[in-house]
Amino acid sequence: MSLPLEKRGQQRASVPAPRRNALTELDRLERVFAALAHATRRHILLVLHARGDRVRAGEIAERFSCSWPTTTRHLRQLEEAGLVCVEKRGRERFYTLQRQRLLEVAGDWLDRFRDDTRGK
């Protein structure tokens, strides 16, 4: 019975991560960062987070001084970026923070600046 490579003093070769289509990745980044570019949309995400990640549309609208159509446009942009999802129940709409998507996209972008080994 042979020992695993790590036990024999050798390191296992790392398997490269699958490559994402660069244009798809750029589009994904652009949609998320465009959604995050407006202070009201960032505030909406904070409200969702503070309220347990799921909030009724009316409760979100009550928190802002802008009109309902403006709030709706902000929510739609967050939804199109994949940062929130909407669930319709009768006449009510509930918005849920897509925390994993936010962490994945923003985190992946920020990771590019960690442990930068260019020319060091």
**pLDDT tens for each residue of the chain, 120 residues long:** 444 544 445 554 555 555 668 888 888 899 999 999 999 999 999 999 999 999 999 899 888 888 888 999 999 999 999 999 999 999 999 999 999 999 999 988 888 888 765 655
What gap in Å lies between CA 7 and CA 30, rounded to an integer? 45
What gap in Å lies between CA 35 and CA 40, rounded to an integer? 10
Sketch out the chain's domains with CATH numbers.
24-102 (1.10.10.10)
Q: Are strands 84-89 and 54-56 parallel, antiparallel or unpaired?
A: unpaired
What gap in Å lies between CA 16 and CA 18, rounded to an integer? 6
Q: Is 75 helix (H, G, I), strand (E, B) or coil?
A: helix
pLDDT of residue 19: 60
Tell how far CA 39 is from the center of its chain: 16
